[in-house]
Structure 1
Amino acid sequence: MWYVLVGILALAAGVALGFFIARKYMMDYLKKNPPINEQMLRMMMMQMGQKPSQKKINQMMAQMNKQMDGK
């Protein structure tokens, strides 16, 4: 009976620990390799019919980085 209880507790602890390690790894990976860079942002704005200025792109990148750091 105790073996089953210890096994279930060990399994639950392993799942929780694995989740938090994977989450930390992904957060660090996304911080080092952001999914959107300036060139991609410029192309998206051009496709939407806007003429992107460097100032506007810098503002949007700063806003996206601020949002990523806040989470």
Structure 2
Amino acid sequence: MGTLWVVLIAILALIAGVALGFFIARKYMMNYLKKNPPINEQMLRTMMMQMGQKPSQKKIKQMMRSMNNQMDK
């Protein structure tokens, strides 16, 4: 009977540890991506020029704002 409790507690502790680790890692990555966005204005400008578009500053700001809004959701 005592061995059953030890195994049950070990399994519950493992499940709790995995869940807690997942949420901590998720929070860390969200903060990292918010501080270091994967695409900046210069990259966006280069990408648009490669696609054959002449990027205006207004359009770049609009696209950056749209991407930031998507990340906040």
TM range (shorter): over 0.9
Structure of larger gyration radius: 2
* Moved segments of 4+, more than 4 Å: none
**Percent identity of equivalent pairs:** 83
Structure 1: distance between partners of 2:64 and 2:24: 28
TM-score norm. by structure 1 comes to 0.97
Give the paired residue count.
Answer: 70
What CA RMSD, in Å, does the superposition of the two structures yield over aligned residues? 0.3
Are 1:25 and 2:12 matched, yes or no? Answer: no
- Is there any run of 5+ residues in structure 1 with no aligned partner, and where? none
**1:45 partner amino acid:** M
Secondary structure of the structure 2 residue equivalent to 1:49 = coil
